[in-house]
Amino acid sequence: MKYKNIAKKIIQLKNADLALRDKLIQKGQLGDGYDKEMELLHAQNAKQLEQIIDSIGYPTIDKVGETASEAAWLIIQHSIGHPSFMKKCLHLLEKAVQENKANPKNVAYLSDRIAVFEGKPQLYGTQFDWDENGKLSPNSYDDFSKVNQRRKSIGLNSLEEQISIIRKRAVAEKEVPPSDFEKRKKEIELWRKRVGWMK
């Protein structure tokens, strides 16, 4: 590992993110829109990670070790208010995967997340949201059997298995569907326009 201090810093950023998530779970506020404190923390983490990437390139396993490389990916996944940063990272991550220096599953999750925010179908079915029946379901995807083939090719479980896991986790974390589905949909649309995912 070349950058021990940077690795430590990246892990600290991830730990702050997860600590805040746990706090919101305890208060029963996780599924209740995009919490302001969380939005602020995600923005600060994105800014600090971008500075790191500008100085050392993508935090690959050979540079910062596996734990910090995974932590960097999680921070990028949560940088949802910064479309250009997420897209830049996807490009760098794809290159790292081609060089066997990063996990292909991380590309699947990041590319799906970007697709969902841009209103496009996802390729791996990794991103979920509440549906109109109050169940957590995958965001739109292109083709069920193709999604499962792609998932299998990078070592992910089937979409059916993942749906079951996600729904059980939501129950365990006491997540509840939005009280007003249409209102939440409108709020998400406005947010996507405000931060630049949609024109």
Model pTM above 0.85: yes
CA 102 – CA 53 distance, rounded (Å): 15
CA 54 – CA 71 distance, rounded (Å): 17
Q: Write out pLDDT tens, residues 48-86.
A: 999 999 999 999 999 999 999 999 999 999 999 999 999
**Measuring CA to CA, which residue among 81, 7, 86 is closest to residue 15?**
7
Q: Write out pLDDT tens, residues 143-193.
A: 999 999 999 999 999 999 999 999 999 988 888 888 888 988 898 999 999
Q: Write out pLDDT tens, residues 153-164.
A: 999 999 999 999
> 107 by DSSP, 3-state: which?
helix
Size of the chain, expressed as the number of residues it contains: 199
